Structure 1
Amino acid sequence: MRKPRPGPHSPNAAPGPPKFRDGRVEALRALRVARRSAVQQRADVTRQIKNLIVTAPEGVRTMLRHLKDKDLLAICAGFRPDAGQAGDPVTATKIALRSLARRHRDLGRETDELIAPLTQVINPALTELHGVGPDVAGQLLVTAGDNPGRLRSEAAFAMLCGVAPLPASSGRTHRHRLNRGGDRAANAALYRIVLCRLRWDPRTRTYMERRTKEGLSKKEIIRCLKRFVAREIYHVLTTTNASAATPSHLTTAA
């Protein structure tokens, strides 16, 4: 009896080509670590500002507690208290709020400047897609690696990102369920693209309305949309100029 051939996900299947670790995408991965830290610190600063307002003197609390985050940060960053009266609770609170708000502003600039230039250099077409910002583009580039050509097909990329549909049929009911595997960070990046397009892209909203009338749930529709987006992303990733994604030691003349 002939033994069955090992499938692509069998433990006996030959492993695919590994990621390169000495190209621009590897540099981007390192920068994303610093960016992630800056984003977390900025969120911490926002919470510290709001906590400080809760216990601030009545005049400061009344002035600031109903403001939206954007207006709150702008007003706090613009405070000009007299440093010579730092012993006064109102003055000290304003000094602290100004320091925190300006720190938040500086961290925001850092998050914008850390990875945006490099993502644009690596794959400018990716950042031009609707709903794809520097952070999302950076994550998808890191997932694909410096050699995205190692991915056999767009279906393989979808499986890598955890958006390939998994059969969940029963009897005469034919359906698919969400894929809980794959790179969850890449899955989250595709999810953010879908949410952005559902709000701003007319074609995506039309698709949502049509599939809703066909009886699909919102979760199922988003699963389908993530799969479509993965196909689009794959073609953009794999049609990039190969020299931009190839390590220097492979591009030098023999």
Structure 2
Amino acid sequence: MYKLTKVSAIKARTQAINQLKAVLIIADPALREELAGLGDAELFRTCAGFAEVGSREESVLQATRIALGLLADRIGQLSEEIREVDARLARLVEGHAPQLLEVVGIGPDTAVALLIAVGDNPERLGSEASSAALCGVSPVERSSGRRQFRRLNRGGDRQANAALHRIVFTRLRVDPRTQAYYERRTREGKTRREIIRCLKRYAAREVFHLVRQELPGPRS
């Protein structure tokens, strides 16, 4: 439920940001000049401070400033809502699977996506291979003439697959072991796509064993 709320809030905030910037494009040149060069955060704060000027016949400039102020207020409210939902999600992960947060590359949002996939498909956790297939990282055999190779699996739960993707690319930036593995496999002639496939499979294996710790034992 929290994840659904966050996704809708992010979509609404993105729409409001796009509308605000579209208004700026057609705004009075003097107003555009006033707001030129501001970063997004400062732009939203400045627009939110625009006061509504009472007038029987509002000018186009006044209406533009009011519209920018209302859109900026909406962006701020949605941002606060997203932060609140993020905090609730983080508490849930810390309460149910804190071991996931100890892994390099896994934050609350990534952990939530993986736990949702697991919770929706508990029957898929009977084996590591089944769990990998659920996340769309099980290898798929392909051939091209005389060459046999494996490609990325385009099936499975796409949210879980995207979570593993984020784990891998975070590790490629900050984890020395992952960086060393990438360099070694590159020297062996592996393509970037093949290396990413392998790293996602390894991440799925690690997550599987961490999540299995929380599963109840078999019934007699």
Q: 1:147 to 1:208 in 2, by over 3 A?
A: same
* Closer, same or farther: CA 203–62 of 1 in aligned 2, 3 Å: farther
Q: Any idea what SS the aligned residue of 1:175 has?
A: strand
Deviation at residue 148 of structure 1 after TM alignment:
4.7
Q: Which residue of 1 aligns with 2:119?
A: 145
User: Matched residue of 1:84: which SS?
Assistant: coil
CA offset at residue 44 of structure 1?
A: 0.6
Counterparts of 1:71 and 1:40, CA distance in 2: 21
Q: Could you tell me how far 1:212 is from its partner in structure 2?
A: 1.9
1:146 is displaced (CA, Å) by 7.1
* Bigger helix share: 2
C-alpha distance after superposition, 1:47-89 (max 9, x if no partner): 1111011011112212335444333323323x24253359243
Question: Could you tell me which amino acid in structure 2 is paired with residue 109 of structure 1?
Answer: E
Q: Does 1:73 align with 2:47?
A: no
Determine which of 92, 111, 114 is the counterpart of 1:118. Answer: 92
Provide the residue aligned with 2:156 in structure 1: 182
Residue among 11, 35, 59 paired with 2:30: 59
Contact conserved, 1:148 with 1:238, CA < 8 A, in 2? no
Pick one of 11, 18, 31 that aligns with 1:40: 11
Opposite residue 100 of structure 1, the aligned amino acid is: L
Alpha-carbon shift at residue 239 of structure 1 (Å): 1.2
* Contact 1:149/1:238 (<8 A) preserved: no
The match for 2:196 among 222, 228, 242 is 222
- Counterpart of 2:103? 129
Structure 1: tracts of 5 or more residues without a match: 1-29, 244-249
* Aligned twin of 1:168: 142
Query: Would the aligned equivalents of 1:162 and 1:181 in 2 still touch at CA under 8 Å?
Result: yes
Give distance in 1, aligned partners of 2:106 and 2:200: 13
Higher mean C-alpha deviation, range 150-159 or range 216-225? 150-159
SS at match of 1:182: coil
Is the alpha carbon distance of 1:212 and 1:65 closer, same or farther for their aligned partners in structure 2, counting shifts above 3 Å? farther
- The amino acid of 2:15's aligned partner reads D
Q: Match for residue 131 of structure 2?
A: 157
SS at match of 1:225: helix
User: TM-score by structure 2 length?
Assistant: 0.84
Kept in 1, the 8 Å contact 2:137–2:197? The answer is yes
- How far residue 205 of structure 1 moved from its aligned partner, in angstroms, is 2.2
CA distance 1:220–1:44, change in 2 (3 Å): same
Alpha-carbon distance, 1:131 to partner: 2.5
Q: How many residue pairs align between the two structures?
A: 214
Deviation at 1:163, TM superposition (A): 0.2
Structure 2 unaligned segments of length 5 or more: list them: none
2:181 aligned with 1:211: no
- For 2:192, give the aligned amino acid: K
Cα separation, 2, equivalents of 1:71 and 1:191? 32
Give the TM-score, by structure 1 length: 0.73
Displacement, 1:158? 0.7
